[in-house]
Amino acid sequence: MRVKVAERGQVTIPKVLRERLGIRPGTILEFREKNGYLIATKIEPLDPVDRAYGKFGRGRRTDEIMKQLREYTDDNSC
């Protein structure tokens, strides 16, 4: 697909590519040059849940954490 660079250096990414790659308004693209080619990479910012993922287990397996939570719930049930 060919696009024309506008006077201010802007290009329009064809709709079929935007849809296929999930590029929406606000998507961050990183540009770099490699061997004479311009390469754009979509950057996926981490949402708050992704940033916290894995920080609370403290080296314990999920099964151990769930067992402890279930024991706590059973001990404190009404």
Position 77 scores a pLDDT of 62
> Does position 73 have pLDDT exceeding 90, yes or no?
no
Chain segment 7-50, per-residue pLDDT in tens: 999 999 999 999 999 999 888 999 999 999 999 999 877 766 76
Determine the Cα–Cα distance for residues 39 and 33; give it in Å rounded to an integer.
6
Contact 57, 47 (CB under 8 A): no
Neighbours of 20 (CB within 10 A): 9
Joined tokens for residue 74: 């059973």
Spell out the domains of the chain, with CATH numbers in brackets: 5-69 (2.10.260)
pLDDT in tens, 41-59: 998 777 667 666 666 656 6
Q: Could you give the CA distance from residue 63 to residue 29 in angstroms, rounded to a whole number? A: 39
- Chain centroid to CA 39: 19
pLDDT over threshold 60, residue 60: yes
42 DSSP β-pair partners:
29
pLDDT at 34: 96
